[in-house]
Amino acid sequence: MTPLAGCLLVSSLLFAIGLAGALTRRNAILVLAGIELMLNAANLNFIAFWRFGPHPEFLTGLMFVIFSIAVAAAEAAVGLALILAIYRHARTSDVSEITEMKG
């Protein structure tokens, strides 16, 4: 197995773990954590293709990862603020109990 294939397998396993968590957990915070894991798996792919790709001197994958980390930080902040607002309204952070959008 080449190193690139190893990286890709690790990242697809991480993606599957994140997807399973996002689909099976009931707590909204852990759903968000699963989404973060999926995002990290994509980042690992970028790094792997940058490292083992034909033109690493252009730094493209690295730049994409840096911007992606910034986007993930913003996403986590807004997502957790949304979860806090929903908790204050519905007194729960269980996604299977929050069934209506009407306030």
Partner 1 sequence: MTVSFLILAILTLAGGIAAMTLRRLVHCALALAVSFAGLAALYLNLGADFAGLAQLLVYVGAIAILIVFAILLTRSGETELDKVFSPKGFIGALLALAVFAVLAWAVASSSATRLTAAGSGPAPSSPIRDIGFSLMQRYVLPLEVIALMLTAAMIGAVILAVRPTRAGDQPETPRNPELQP
Instruction: Write out the binding residues for partner 1, residues 42-61 only, by CB under 8 A.
Output: 43-44, 47-48, 50-54, 56-57, 59
Angle at 19 between CA 44 and CA 79, to 5 degrees: 85
In angstroms and rounded to an integer, the radius of gyration of the C-alpha atoms of the chain is 17
Out of 17, 35, 42, 100, the only residue in the binding site for partner 1 (CB under 8 A) is 17
Six-digit token string for 41? 């798996």
Taking the least distance from each CB to partner 1, the nearer of 91 and 100 is 91
Taking the least distance from each CB to partner 1, the nearer of 57 and 102 is 57
Please give the Cα distance from 2 to 26 (Å, whole number). 38
From the CB of 102, what's the least distance to partner 1, in Å? 17
Other beta carbons within 10 Å of 28: 20
From the CB of 100, what's the least distance to partner 1, in Å? 18
